[in-house]
Amino acid sequence: MTDRRTILQLLALSSLAAVPAIGATLTPSTDPAAAWRNPGADQKDPRLYCLAHAILAPNPHNRQPWLVDLEGDDTINFYFDTTRRLPATDPYDRQLTIGCGAFLEILSIAAAEIGYEAQIRLFPLGEPQPTLDDRPVARIRLVDGGRRDPLFTQITQRRSNKEAYDLKKPISGETLKALVAAEPSEKLMFAGALSGDPRCERLRQISIQAYRREIETPVALKESIDLIRIGKAEIAKYRDGIDLDFPGIGAMQAMGILTREKMLTPGTKAYQQGLDQYEPLAKSASGYVWIISDTKDRYAELAAGRAYARLNLRATALGIAMHPMSQALQEYAEMSAIKAETEKAVSLSPHARLQMLARIGYASKVPPSPRRGLSEHLRT
């Protein structure tokens, strides 16, 4: 494979903003923000450069379920890490597959940036159903070519922003249009609704209701609580999952107010806080966006993941914060009535699937979420 542009040259020219480290005493292998700083800068192999970007993709519960091996001098075999499932809230791995699609899209954008086209063959050994398995999700070949994509510069700036949004700053109809109408696709439909639109009001109510249902479903709640990383030390140790950190968190832990057990126990402050936290977030939404696929297979899930990554990157370019709110889409029995309501709210037809739902708005910037680092994804 030719190395027409060196990666280091490109990085010197690029406008990547430095991302602050989460803790001062962290080493590169425990710093949860390290992967966001100049990804791939030290890599000579273009595949590793692309992968260093791909691991920055959005993905459910920040499981980062991505494994790769390198074959020959131009090929990547990409696998789902079957040890990183979410069996309670994502029983068919649909959302995790979307996270694999997002990985592929970011990889492709990074490849184009350095003069390669990522030729992707999906599920070369067949489509895994009803869950993902050890067969490859994709076989990727980097060949000379590719068209540079302006979204590249947003890869290290993109976030899932889970804070309250600024209700005083509404999103305009034009901006929403620029966000959802930019890339028409035959197989996917992008749509949105802003504050004031009855669909937006309905989706607000539904997402609050769905979140409460998840908290009140013990097996679903436990799955999330098991993945919460409480405080800097745990975040640095795992560099995945749901990171929880704020001033005073250490004291709350020491006093036994904030423990996993308390979060799981109705009647405690920690449980109640969990139950109440989504309402102000949903209410602060300036609007919602969603992605519908016209089929329900794995290919549609990967396509939705690629599209969602682009939507999130485009929102970043427009200065818009985005936060997936997936509870109402989840396929477990306790959620089924709410899921049906959500599908009605977005006028879903029977053959189609609502793949992503996210709130949008203007908000202050947030730091990057943890990443485990590229070496953790390389199969040996």
Ligand X SMILES: Cc1cc2nc3c(=O)[nH]c(=O)nc-3n(C[C@H](O)[C@H](O)[C@H](O)COP(=O)(O)O)c2cc1C
- Nearer to ligand X by C-beta: 61 or 239? 61
**Residue 47 found at the interface with ligand X (CB under 6 A):** no
**Residue 106 found at the interface with ligand X (CB under 6 A):** no
Q: What is the DSSP string of 218-286?
A: HHHHHHHHHTEEEHHHHHHHH--SEEE--TTHHHHHHTTSS-HHHHHSTTSHHHHHHHHTHHHHHHT-S
- Measured from the CB of residue 344, what is the shortest distance to ligand X in angstroms? 20
- Nearer to ligand X by C-beta: 36 or 79? 36
- Nearer to ligand X by C-beta: 76 or 98? 98
Choose which of 46, 58, 136, 287 interacts with ligand X (CB under 6 A). Answer: 58
**Residue 39 found at the interface with ligand X (CB under 6 A):** no
- Nearer to ligand X by C-beta: 142 or 302? 302
**Residue 326 found at the interface with ligand X (CB under 6 A):** yes
**Residue 293 found at the interface with ligand X (CB under 6 A):** no
- Nearer to ligand X by C-beta: 116 or 211? 211
Tokens of 362: 């203007």
Taking the C-alpha atoms of residue 149 and residue 313, their distance in angstroms, rounded to an integer, is 11
**Residue 159 found at the interface with ligand X (CB under 6 A):** yes
- Torsion sign over Cα 125, 129, 133, 136: positive
Stretch that binds ligand X, among 193-201, 217-225, 249-257, 323-331 (CB under 6 A): 323-331
**Residue 160 found at the interface with ligand X (CB under 6 A):** yes
- Nearer to ligand X by C-beta: 32 or 99? 99
Stretch that binds ligand X, among 116-124, 125-133, 226-234, 320-328 (CB under 6 A): 320-328
The footprint of ligand X on this chain (CB under 6 A) covers a number of residues equal to 18
Taking the C-alpha atoms of residue 56 and residue 64, their distance in angstroms, rounded to an integer, is 9
**Residue 324 found at the interface with ligand X (CB under 6 A):** yes
Tokens of 18: 């430095």
- Nearer to ligand X by C-beta: 62 or 342? 62
* Three-state DSSP state, 177: helix
**Residue 59 found at the interface with ligand X (CB under 6 A):** yes
Residue 142 DSSP class: E
Stretch that binds ligand X, among 92-100, 108-116, 183-191, 289-297 (CB under 6 A): 92-100
> Among 305, 314, 374, 312, which Cα is nearest to 103's?
305
- 3-state secondary structure labels for all residues of 13-53: HCCCCCCCCCCCCCCCCCCCCHHHCCCCCCCCCHHHHHHHH
End-to-end C-alpha distance for the chain, whole angstroms:
22
- Nearer to ligand X by C-beta: 206 or 325? 325
Taking the C-alpha atoms of residue 343 and residue 340, their distance in angstroms, rounded to an integer, is 5
Give residues in contact with ligand X (CB under 6 A).
58-62, 95, 98-99, 102, 159-160, 162, 323-327, 369
